[in-house]
Homo-oligomer: A and B are copies of this chain.
C-alpha cells in the first residue's frame, strides 16, 4: 500500500478517538481525511450541562476545521457515512466514494433501549447536542406548563432518570439543583422545589465502576439535594404519561434515559464480528481480523483490559486508542512491529451538583468539595481551545455565585423558516407531541 505519495488515512468520526488519531497523524507523512456528520467536535462529558441550561452548545463544541487550520495534510469533510467498501478500500458518504490506504473507524455509540425501541420516543437519550437542547426544552417547558395547567401539575413536576452511571448521576444532580435552587424564586403558582426527581437503577448501587464507598457517598449527596434514588429497580415500561417499574408506576412527562448504549453500525458496514452491544471484535493492535489496514476504536470497538473486562466507553480510552492507532500506522509504514494496545487508567471522576464530586484515582478516593475542584480543573484542561475553557469556567463561576443558569432558553431552532401562520403559533418551541 505505501507508495511514493503519502499514504492516505481516512478517519470516520471526529469524537475523542478520531480526533486524537488525526492530531497524531497530522505530524507525520500522511494524507489524512477526517469525516464527520457534524462540523464540530463535541465534549461529551459536559453534554448534561447543556441539557440542564448551564452551558450553551457552542461552549462544548469546537469546529473541526479550526483544529486542523494549520495542518495542510489534514482535510475535513462534513458528510454522513453510509457504508464501507472493504473490497475496494473506499468509504461511501452521500454519493462520494473516498479511497483509503488506511481506515480508522471511530463512530462511537448511541442510546440503546434493550430491545424496547418503542421506549425511545418517551425516554429521552443524551448523546448529541440536538438531544441535549431537546431535553433542555422539555425540562424547562415542564415547569412552564405546570404553572398554567393545574390538572397536569403533579405529572409535569415528576422527573425520572433511568440509569445510575456517571451521566445519570450528573443529570439527576443538575436537575435537582435547577428545580430547587435556580427556578424556585421564579414562579408564582407552582413551587419548583416541590418537583420530584427520581433516579432509577437496576443494579445494586450507583456508579458501579467506582468503589462501593464512593457509590454510597454519591447516593447520599443526591439525596441531600432532594433527589430520590431507587436501586435494584428495573424499568418495565415507558409511555408518554409515566414509567412502570414492575407493579409501581410514576406519573411523569419527562423520562431521561442513560441506561445503556450500543455501538454505531460500523460492525455491519464492515461485515465484522461483534458482541451483543454491536462492538467490533478487533485484534490486539485494534485492527480488523483479516484487514490489517482497517482499525476500529473507541465505543465501537470491543477491547479487553488487563483484568479481562471490556474497556468502558469513556473519553480517555478512545483518546489513547486514537494515538495508539496513529503510532501503529506510522510503524507499519516504516515496517516495524508495535506492542498491543494497553489502556492506562488515570482514574474516574463524577460530579453531583455545583460543589460536590467523587473521584477515584488508583487507590486514592476523594469525595466532596476537593473532588469537585479536581473535576472542574480536569474538565477545563481537556476542553479544546482557549475560548471554550474561558467560557465554561466563567459559566461555572457565574452559576456558582448566582445560582442562575446561563442558557435557560426554550427554543426550537435549526429548522426551515415557517410561514406567517405557523410563526404565530409554533415558535414557542413546543412540538406537536407536547401540545397534544
Contacts and interface: CB of A to CB of B under 8 A. Distances in A.
Interface stretch (A73-81, A301-309, A356-364, A367-375): A73-81
B410 A57 contact: no
Contact of A39 (B66, B265, B408): B408
Interface stretch (A2-10, A132-140, A205-213, A346-354): A132-140
A188 B77 CA distance: 10
A414 to B, nearest CB: 4
Contact of A57 (B76, B187, B409): B409
Contacts of A72: 188
Given A134-B416, A394-B390, A409-B40, A424 B78 contact: no
A269 to B, nearest CB: 11
Contact of A80 (B387, B412, B417, B424): B424
Contacts of A412: 130, 414-415
Contacts of A96: 148
Interface string A266-292: 000000000000000000000000000
Nearest to A132: B413
Interface of A is mostly: mixed
A404 B66 contact: yes
A228 interface: no
Contacts of A78: 141, 144, 147-148, 410, 428
Nearest to A410: B39
A406 B58 contact: yes
A22 to B, nearest CB: 14
A416 B429 CA distance: 11
A88 interface: no
A121 interface: yes
B147 A77 contact: yes
Q: Which of A124, A137, A427 has the most CB of B within 10 A?
A: A427
B409 A411 contact: no
A259 to B, nearest CB: 15
Contacts of A147: 77-78
Interface string A134-178: 100100110010011000000000000000000000000000000
Interface in A246-274: 265
A366 to B, nearest CB: 31
Contacts of A110: 420, 423
Nearest to A74: B188
A128 B94 CA distance: 32
Contacts of A345: none
A189 B78 CA distance: 13
B417 A415 contact: no
A131 B412 CA distance: 10
A407 interface: yes
Contact of A61 (B75, B82, B120, B409): B409
Q: Which of A141, A414, A419 has the most CB of B within 10 A?
A: A414
Given A148-B79, A188-B72, A391-B394, A411 B414 contact: yes
Contacts of A125: 417
Nearest to A129: B411
Contact of A409 (B58, B409, B433): B58
Given A40-B409, A66-B404, A79-B148, 10 more contacts: A38-B411, A57-B411, A70-B185, A96-B148, A128-B427, A129-B413, A130-B411, A386-B398, A387-B406, A391-B394
Q: Which 8 A-B pairs have the closest CB atoms?
A: A65-B186, A133-B413, A58-B407, A412-B414, A56-B56, A78-B144, A63-B408, A37-B428
21 contacts: A38-B411, A38-B428, A39-B410, A40-B408, A72-B188, A79-B148, A79-B428, A82-B424, A128-B427, A129-B409, A129-B411, A130-B413, A131-B417, A133-B414, A134-B417, A390-B394, A390-B398, A391-B406, A394-B394, A414-B415, A416-B431
